[in-house]
Chain A
Amino acid sequence: MKGRDLLRLAYGGFRGHRLRTLLSVLGVSAGIAAVVVLTSLGSAARDYITREFLSLGTNLLIVLPGKTETTGMVPVIGGVPHELTLEDAEYLERNLRSVKRMTPVVLGSARARHRNRARNVTVVGTSETFREVNGLTVARGIFLPRRVARKHEPVCVLGATVARELFGRENPLNQFVRVGGFRFRVIGVTAPRGMMLGADLDEMIEVPTRSAMKLFNRRGLFRLLIELKNEEAIPFVRRDVARLIKERHEGEEDITVFTQDALLATFGKILDAVTAALSAIAAISLAVAGIGIMNVMLVAVSERRNEIGLMKALGATRNQVTALFLTEAALLGGFGGAAGILFGTAACRVFTRIYPDFPVSPPLWAVAAAAFVALGVGAFFGGYPARKAARLDPVAALRSRG
């Protein structure tokens, strides 16, 4: 039997059962649409996070105060971890090699006011490098100069949203903003940048690190970003950071150093787990759809016993009968798959329209895999009915009514 004839005969089997065929195709398409949407979401989430990290700059070490793992020691007096101070940062900068730039970051929330307008803002104590690392551009004025990081100087740079809401159409440059108990002179406004790892950069005010520490009455840094000149230096610098901090913190290594890769890997693991869970749900819906196909095929086999007997009398082998019903089931799966891919892609489009910052589009491999899975589901769940058809005794099959 030629492949084309097989397809034609199998397709002909759907004639007269349009509703039944349509319903089982819909069943598969729902499952496949779920697979397409969920894998697209998973891959979009991964892309999103990777993109965010890449914009942080490569070869980045992130130093956090405190140790994330327990030491097993009984906390006696002085067991509280030392804070990571600006002096620590300066000491590291003086003694480390291969460092391109170092950004101490202090983070806090405060109320910013200009005349009668006020709003809550995130205050970032930092320096020029924060702009570089986050890919911020200055729309007006200048960013915080490098030198001001280490001393208190009452100047600030406004995020785009903050500038608009506090100053409206006025030019904010050289005007004053009251943040907490301090007055800061506006020296720059950043261009809109949007969300960055869940924080809106446009709703921030950047001030010199020292000033932010004064503002929040804090000695410790939120974190220290160290960008290295090259990737090879990462392990050495990492070791040196630990050693130098230990020297300054009375022999205690009370900091945690992350690399960007490690963070990415952690996110990757979480995403994998989430994706696996979602896939399991999709797999269940596919299994249900497959059982639907099996049901439809079993009905088809018992309805067409007569025809199966006839085919055998006309010289069809068992394998040909099997192939015919398998093809029919695979076609159900295939049509379901095609419809599912269309539905899934449409759903992704709608999603992207609603959340433009999080573009979801089905990756090619997911589409290909979905099509393959749909055919496979059809063939797998059609296998039993097809074998049943092939095993029918032709005499009995011919004698049956129908």
Chain B
Amino acid sequence: MIRLENISRTFFVGGRPVHALRKVSFSIAEGEYVTIMGASGSGKSTLLNILGCLDRPNAGRYFLDGREVGGMKDEELAAVRGHKIGFVFQAFHLVPRLTALENVELPMVFAGAERGARRRAAQKALETVGLADRAEHRPNQLSGGERQRVAIARSIVMKPAILLADEPTGNLDSRTGLEVIALLEKLNTSGMTLVIVTHDPKLGSRAPHLIRLSDGRVIEDVFPKGAVTAKRSINRAGERADENVAD
């Protein structure tokens, strides 16, 4: 589903190159639960932005469902972000003037969905995160944990294949953080690919697939529990098939 080949990303700060990512390669199969770990400045957020098609690498190739993202135009990228990927941010990023329901609806607004369908989908997403009774609340009337759950509802309202979470517990206390993680894991077991970026080792140990970054390089890409599901291996095979076709 996701395959990176020698992805490099270099920023220029004051005319000097800063190598945020250096020749990063790995793959993530459909339905996986991956944690990307690393110290601050290791390049993990940059990596997540590239995975989310918010940023483009300077070199290397990124295949999403067998299609190379590098050649896509703005419109296609927006469609990928809208339909295929759900974002969960550390700072929630809810629009303060909109209600919880309207915030959840937002991706469907950009996708041009009908009002009725939107309402139903948003309501259902709020139910999934257990906040159906908070639909008409504005973000400032919600607790931190509730805000993050609204943000999660928003990330799944388009039924994306991939959930990307950037330090989703960073602004929460450990108990609500754990609740949020549990919610994300529940969504993963229902079939969504989950990628969490964190510097918290406790979270990292929960995921079956761990990718560790340091100084812009992958220093570890392991399955600590050794559990490779049947689904994953099938997908790997499928991807290999795709490659053969592409070659």
Which one of A9, A16, A317, A395 lies within 8 Å of B109 (CB-CB)?
A: A9
Which one of B78, B95, B111, B115 lies within 8 Å of A312 (CB-CB)?
A: B78
Q: Is B173 an interface residue (CB 8 A)?
A: no
A322 to B112, CA, bound (A): 16
Contacting residues, chain A, for B52 (C-beta < 8 A): 313
Segment of A238-246, A303-311, A371-379 engaged in the interface with chain B: A303-311
Contacting residues, chain B, for A31 (C-beta < 8 A): none
Within A277-322, which residues are at the interface with B (CB < 8 Å)? Answer: 306-307, 309-320
Q: Are A313 and B54 in contact (CB under 8 A)?
A: yes
Q: Are B54 and A395 in contact (CB under 8 A)?
A: yes
Contacting residues, chain A, for B111 (C-beta < 8 A): 315
A318 to B77, CA, bound (A): 10
* A164 to B: closest C-beta gap in Å: 69
Q: Are A12 and B97 in contact (CB under 8 A)?
A: yes
Task: State whether A317 and B97 are in contact (beta carbons under 8 Å apart), knowing that A9-B109, A311-B110, A395-B55 are contacts in the complex.
Answer: no
Q: Are B81 and A315 in contact (CB under 8 A)?
A: yes
A250 to B81, CA, bound (A): 95
A306 — nearest CB in chain B belongs to which residue?
B93
Contacting residues, chain B, for A2 (C-beta < 8 A): 109, 112, 114-115
Q: Are A398 and B158 in contact (CB under 8 A)?
A: no
Which one of B97, B106, B114 lies within 8 Å of A314 (CB-CB)?
A: B106
* A2 to B: closest C-beta gap in Å: 6
Contacting residues, chain B, for A16 (C-beta < 8 A): 97
Which one of A309, A310, A315 lies within 8 Å of B82 (CB-CB)?
A: A315
A5 — nearest CB in chain B belongs to which residue?
B109
A310 to B87, CA, bound (A): 9
Task: State whether A317 and B74 are in contact (beta carbons under 8 Å apart), knowing that A5-B109, A312-B81 are contacts in the complex.
Answer: yes
Which one of A12, A316, A398 lies within 8 Å of B110 (CB-CB)?
A: A316
Contacting residues, chain B, for A315 (C-beta < 8 A): 78-79, 81-83, 107, 110-111, 158
**Interface range, A side:** 20 to 34
Main secondary structure of the interface of A (DSSP, over half): helix
Contacting residues, chain A, for B75 (C-beta < 8 A): 317, 319
Q: Are A317 and B112 in contact (CB under 8 A)?
A: no
Q: Is A344 an interface residue (CB 8 A)?
A: no
Contacting residues, chain B, for A320 (C-beta < 8 A): 78, 110
Within A136-164, which residues are at the interface with B (CB < 8 Å)? Answer: none
Q: Are B110 and A1 in contact (CB under 8 A)?
A: yes
Q: Are B89 and A398 in contact (CB under 8 A)?
A: yes
A315 to B160, CA, bound (A): 12
* B229 to A: closest C-beta gap in Å: 29
A310 to B97, CA, bound (A): 14
**What is the number of residues of chain B that contact chain A, defined by CB distance less than 8 Å?**
27
Contacting residues, chain B, for A317 (C-beta < 8 A): 74-75, 78-79, 110
B114 — nearest CB in chain A belongs to which residue?
A2
Within B77-107, which residues are at the interface with A (CB < 8 Å)? Answer: 78-79, 81-83, 87, 89, 93, 95, 97-98, 106-107
* B86 to A: closest C-beta gap in Å: 9
Within B143-164, which residues are at the interface with A (CB < 8 Å)? Answer: 154, 158
C-beta contact mask, A313-340 vs B, less than 8 Å → 1, else 0?
Answer: 1111111100000000000000000000
Q: Are A395 and B49 in contact (CB under 8 A)?
A: yes
A9 to B83, CA, bound (A): 20
Contacting residues, chain B, for A394 (C-beta < 8 A): 54-55
Contacting residues, chain B, for A306 (C-beta < 8 A): 93
B84 — nearest CB in chain A belongs to which residue?
A315
Q: Is A15 an interface residue (CB 8 A)?
A: yes
A292 to B49, CA, bound (A): 36
Contacting residues, chain B, for A314 (C-beta < 8 A): 81-82, 87, 106-107, 110, 154
A5 to B55, CA, bound (A): 27
Q: Are B109 and A1 in contact (CB under 8 A)?
A: yes
Contacting residues, chain B, for A312 (C-beta < 8 A): 54, 78, 81
Contacting residues, chain A, for B83 (C-beta < 8 A): 315
Contacting residues, chain A, for B97 (C-beta < 8 A): 12, 15-16
A313 — nearest CB in chain B belongs to which residue?
B87
A4 — nearest CB in chain B belongs to which residue?
B115
B111 — nearest CB in chain A belongs to which residue?
A315
B54 — nearest CB in chain A belongs to which residue?
A394
Within A246-266, which residues are at the interface with B (CB < 8 Å)? Answer: none
Contacting residues, chain A, for B79 (C-beta < 8 A): 315, 317
* A320 to B: closest C-beta gap in Å: 6
Closest 7 CB pairs of A and B: A315-B82, A317-B78, A314-B107, A316-B110, A310-B93, A394-B54, A15-B97
Interfacial residues, chain A to chain B (CB-CB below 8 A): 1-2, 5, 9, 12, 15-16, 306-307, 309-320, 393-395, 398
A-B contacts besides A5-B115, A311-B110, A395-B49, 18 pairs, CB < 8 Å: A1-B110, A1-B112, A2-B109, A5-B109, A9-B109, A12-B98, A15-B97, A309-B93, A314-B82, A314-B107, A315-B107, A316-B82, A317-B74, A317-B75, A317-B110, A320-B110, A394-B54, A398-B93
Q: List 6 A-B contacts (CB under 8 A).
A: A312-B78, A313-B93, A314-B107, A315-B111, A316-B110, A317-B75
